[in-house]
Each structure stands twice: as C-alpha cells, then as structure tokens.
Amino acid sequence: MKLILVDPKQALCKAWEEQFQNLPNVEIVQGYFERLPKFDCMVSAANSFGMMDGGVDLAIVNFFGQPIMKNVQTAILRNYLGEQPVGTSMIVKTGHPHHPFIAHTPTMRVPMPIAHTDHVYSAMWAMLLAVHHHNWTTNQKINIVACPGLGTTTGKMPYAEAAQQMAMAYKNFLHPPKQLDWDVITQRAKPLKSYQIAMEYWATQKNI
C-alpha cells in the first residue's frame, strides 16, 4: 500500500517530511487531492455524524457529488446507530470509476479543538486498519490512499503534533508487536505528545 499525504499548507508538509522521512511507501504532496492523478481511497477527516459541510469533507462532497454524504450517513445509521466513534473508520464506495472509495474517519465527535489529545493517532490507526481489513476481505483492493492533515483545521492540532501522531500510527501499523505486555504498551504510547501531557497532568494531581 502506498500512502500519499496531501495538503496545500507548506508548514504541514514540512512537518510530514520530518516525521515520515524514514518510513517507506510515503509520498508528500503540497496541493489538493483533487489534482492527484491516481488514488484508490481518499481519507475523510470527519466528525461522528457524517456532516461533510466544511473543510476537506466539503471538498470531498464537491469532488464526488452530494450522494457521497448520504451514503456515509446511511452507513453511520446502519453500522453505528447514528454516531460513529472516534477511533473507527469505515470504507464507503464513491461510485467514481477511478477513485472508488473514501475512508470515513472521525477525528472528533462534533467540530471542536482536539489539540493535545491522541485523536489523530486513533483516527490514523483506525483508517489504516480499515484499509487493511478491506484488502483482506474484498477483491477490489486499495493500493493508494490519499490522506489530508488530520485534525489540523477545525481540530486546531499543531502541525508538528498531528504529523507526529500520524507517523507513529503508520510506523506501528508497519511493525505490529509479537506479544502484548506493559513494556510493549509503554513503548508504543510514550512517544505521543498527548501521552507526555497526560502523564504530567496526573503527576500534578498526585501532589494535590
């Protein structure tokens, strides 16, 4: 699978370059996903209710057509009883002959700031798993995923923080553990800035 990180913001692309520099099968494009010559799946950095009326989601609707939002909301009603949690991702057909799928991937429950949370990591991880499971269970494979900056617009997550969380999720996806114990968990969680902030918070609470 190839991952194309695409966004018009130069500062975000530079943050991606720093965080993804040693990870394979990644292309960084400063621009708009609509101008990419080839991709199989576009990531929709969404909210839990499938309201695709702003930011990249609106661009996705404009590109694929208004029915894509209806398809997403129908799937949310059917699969998640009307509210798709952060930390999940679902593959939805677009009907487009060259770009057949989107990965609807909430980074927030409703539009809100998510800086200093692990929402971007959870969303990126969920998206990669959704593509992985799709490719295991269907004949129409997803070979190229186009992904925007998760949580960096409405979510107001700093570019460096979002890039770090996205890269960590991709790295963990490429190198899954052979066993699960607290050493593995600590190793996977500790590099996240949100983890460091949480540990500092709980350290202060112990002194109250």
Does residue 205 form part of some domain?
no
Domain total of the chain: 1
Helix (H, G, I), strand (E, B) or coil at 87: coil
Tell me the per-residue pLDDT of 109-131, one tens digit each, with 9 for 90 and over.
999 999 989 999 999 999 999 99
pLDDT (tens digit per residue) in 133-159:
999 999 999 999 999 999 999 999 999
What is the pLDDT at residue 197?
Answer: 59
Identify whether 142 is part of a domain: yes
Whether residue 191 lies inside any domain: the answer is no
What pLDDT is attached to residue 196? 60
1-44 tens-digit pLDDT: 999 999 999 999 999 999 999 999 999 999 999 999 999 999 99
According to the model, what pLDDT value does residue 37 have?
A: 95
Which residues form the domain of 7?
2-176
Residue 109 tokens read as 């429950």
Give the other-Cβ count within 10 Å of 34's Cβ: 13
Query: Taking the model in full, what pTM does it have?
Result: 0.91
Q: Which residues lie across from 144 on neighbouring strands?
A: 2
